[in-house]
Structure 1
Amino acid sequence: MAHGLGGTKDSGLEPYAAALPSNGLDVFAFDYRGFGSSGGDARQTVSIADQLEDYRAAISAVKTFEGVDPNRIVLWGVSLSGGHVLSVGAGRDDVAAIISMTPLVSGRAAGRLAIANLPASAIARATALGLRSRIRRRSGRTPMMMPIVAEPSEIGALTLPGYRRDYLAIAGPTWQNTIDAAIGPEIGGYRADRDAGDIRCPVLMQIADFDRSAPPSSAANAAVKARAEVRHYPCDHFGIYSGQPWFDAAASHQVRFLTRHLAAPTPPTA
């Protein structure tokens, strides 16, 4: 189980993790390198390639735990990690199921949605800061930082009305409201949806129909490619977290999905 953009495992994931053990499921939640309680010298910097590598490393680690069936591993991701689990799970036979919640699967589509919802000046300022940060990183200098969430009039990765309030409501003690400004160029070419057709296990795709940051239409198209079970929720991106109206339904759907697909087969009668 891993978080989305700039998130940490103690920021909104624990209520979902708590709902699963009571139904016979064990949870291994982790932070990507550079975030939360994980190591890494480049702090608060998102690298898609590194995060995919971290997720694969988490799978390998879990398989070594006593009592874990290496063929009954489930991948769980939300937002940016909701796309990661599609890419990581593609082409594998050792993944039993995937849960992809409010996934960001296409950076290009997310960019178009941002253009539709944000002032052009705000996008231009964030883009310029991101390009400066990339140049600084390539020359070995420290990156330019900006808030993960900010008010609409400010520079930040997520600045839509209400997002700062909603993100801060789930923020855990290890979370920091800062991120390498190069996140925009990093996500721009992201295409987890291209891997969806290579997934061989059951997939639960949970889509927020009014999502203003992770385009729901792109998630739906990826769900078709993955032959996924799809659940829709009439809310924005943060409407499925604990304390929000659609958390209980989203958690219940996950439990029912996993119980159905991971249940031990009934032994044949004599």
Structure 2
Amino acid sequence: MKRSNISFVSEGTLLKGWLYEPANTSSTTPAVVMAHGFTSVKEQYLDKYAEVFCSEGFHVLVYDHANFGESEGTPRQEMDPVLQRRGYRDAITFLQSLPGIDPQRIGIWGTSLSGGHVIEVAAIDRRVKCVVAQVPSISGHESAKRRLRSDLVPAMLARYDNDRKARFAGAQPAIIAAVSDDPGVACAMVGVDSYEYFMNTRSFAPNWKNEVTLRSTELFRENEPGHFISRISPTPFLMIVGDNDLLTATDICLTAYEKALEPKKLVMIKGGHFTPYVEHFKVTSEAAASWFNQHLNT
């Protein structure tokens, strides 16, 4: 296989990533679009997934979301779910323009926050012929209720309002930590497992930064991809869920899966939110590759 650096424009912003090309192809091949979750960058295991998919004969496009990693865009470290979903759709358009790729056989893969993105994109963009959502974010509202005690919500909402006023007046966006091992430090993704996962990737993902704009967490609270899940059909849909996921809660994912229509498949793995990338990488990567093979190679 061959990996090349690529870039394409989405909503006026240059997004950068990699294109994996399978070896020994004599005709056009299907392709898969991939991007990472909340604050994450492509070096945090997406290359490993892409290698598995490419070895099965797929072109694979992996890129960083706008404002993160190698991609351009400001404010830096700001997660905008609407822009990120549009990035997926522009990535599809970019792939369809490339030689050697069958524009009618394109699948999308997402994980965590982007697992929610691909649910919504697949529901509204019929160019998508197959979708895999791994430990997906289903409801920002429901997740936020579990991550923050109710008595702390008024203070958080006040912080959002104050940040909006400051930005309106020309100030820089307020920044918080993405993860922390100190319970007293406000961060976007609470829990020891979150902190350990990201800290363990720093040696091979230097572009990841332990910061995110405060507004990103407000935009996350507004994000509701689960509302679209019944509209994915007839596009084939695979959901991969951890049985003890506290970030994208297991019960929320399973309830959403029940609302999806056929054709669909559920793969359950042991462990929490970050186990798909390491402990269960073989299971999760092969399940996704099998799903793409089944529905893009026919």
Question: Normalized against structure 1, the TM-score is what?
Answer: 0.89
Could you tell me how far 1:51 is from its partner in structure 2?
1.2
Q: How does 1:14-53 map to 2 (within 5 A)?
A: 14-53=47-86
Match of residue 71, structure 1, among 95, 104, 123: 104
Match of 2:46 in 1: 13
Could you tell me how far 1:177 is from its partner in structure 2?
1.0
CA separation of 1:153 and 1:119: change in aligned 2, threshold 3 A? farther
Match of residue 267, structure 2, among 225, 228, 231: 231
Q: How does 1:143-162 map to 2 (within 5 A)?
A: 143-151=173-181, 152-162=183-193
Matched, 1:139 2:169: yes
Tell whether the 8 Å contact from 2:106 to 2:296 is kept in structure 1 after alignment: no
In 2, the alpha carbon distance for the partners of 1:134 and 1:247 equals 40
In 1, the alpha carbon distance for the partners of 2:256 and 2:101 equals 30
Query: Secondary structure at 1:162's aligned position in 2?
Result: helix
Could you tell me how far 1:26 is from its partner in structure 2?
1.6
Could you tell me how far 1:139 is from its partner in structure 2?
3.1
Aligned length in residues: 259
Could you tell me how far 1:217 is from its partner in structure 2?
2.0
Matched, 1:205 2:239: yes
CA separation of 1:229 and 1:119: change in aligned 2, threshold 3 A? same
Matched, 1:90 2:120: no
Of Structure 1 and Structure 2, the greater strand share is in: 2
Tell whether the 8 Å contact from 2:108 to 2:131 is kept in structure 1 after alignment: yes
Percentage of identical aligned residues: 27
Could you tell me how far 1:189 is from its partner in structure 2?
2.0
> Which has the larger displacement, 60-69 or 155-164?
155-164
Q: Which amino acid aligns with 1:233?
A: I
Q: Supply the RMSD in Å over aligned alpha carbons.
A: 1.9
Q: Please, which runs of 5 or more residues in structure 1 have no aligned partner?
A: 265-270
In 1, the alpha carbon distance for the partners of 2:193 and 2:208 equals 19
Match of 2:276 in 1: 240
In 2, the alpha carbon distance for the partners of 1:60 and 1:188 equals 29
Could you tell me how far 1:120 is from its partner in structure 2?
5.8
Q: How does 1:175-190 map to 2 (within 5 A)?
A: 175-190=208-223
After superposition, what is the alpha-carbon deviation per residue over 1:145-195, rounded to whole angstroms, capped at 9, x for unaligned? 011111223111112123211122234121111100122221112110111
After superposition, what is the alpha-carbon deviation per residue over 1:19-75, rounded to whole angstroms, capped at 9, x for unaligned? 111111121011111111111131101112211221211111111011111111111
Could you tell me how far 1:119 is from its partner in structure 2?
9.5
Q: Please, which runs of 5 or more residues in structure 2 have no aligned partner?
A: 1-33
Q: Which amino acid aligns with 1:240?
A: P
Tell whether the 8 Å contact from 2:75 to 2:173 is kept in structure 1 after alignment: no
In 2, the alpha carbon distance for the partners of 1:31 and 1:57 equals 13
Q: Which amino acid aligns with 1:164?
A: Y
CA separation of 1:246 and 1:58: change in aligned 2, threshold 3 A? same
In 1, the alpha carbon distance for the partners of 2:251 and 2:48 equals 27
Match of 1:221 in 2: 255
Could you tell me how far 1:230 is from its partner in structure 2?
0.6
Match of 1:100 in 2: 133
Tell whether the 8 Å contact from 1:131 to 1:182 is kept in structure 2 after alignment: no
Tell whether the 8 Å contact from 1:145 to 1:179 is kept in structure 2 after alignment: yes
In 2, the alpha carbon distance for the partners of 1:10 and 1:133 equals 31
Query: Secondary structure at 1:204's aligned position in 2?
Result: strand
Tell whether the 8 Å contact from 2:147 to 2:190 is kept in structure 1 after alignment: no
Match of residue 166, structure 1, among 197, 215, 218: 197
Matched, 1:263 2:297: yes
After superposition, what is the alpha-carbon deviation per residue over 1:215-256, rounded to whole angstroms, capped at 9, x for unaligned? 2222223222333211111211111113xx212111111111
Tell whether the 8 Å contact from 2:107 to 2:296 is kept in structure 1 after alignment: no
In 1, the alpha carbon distance for the partners of 2:162 and 2:191 equals 23
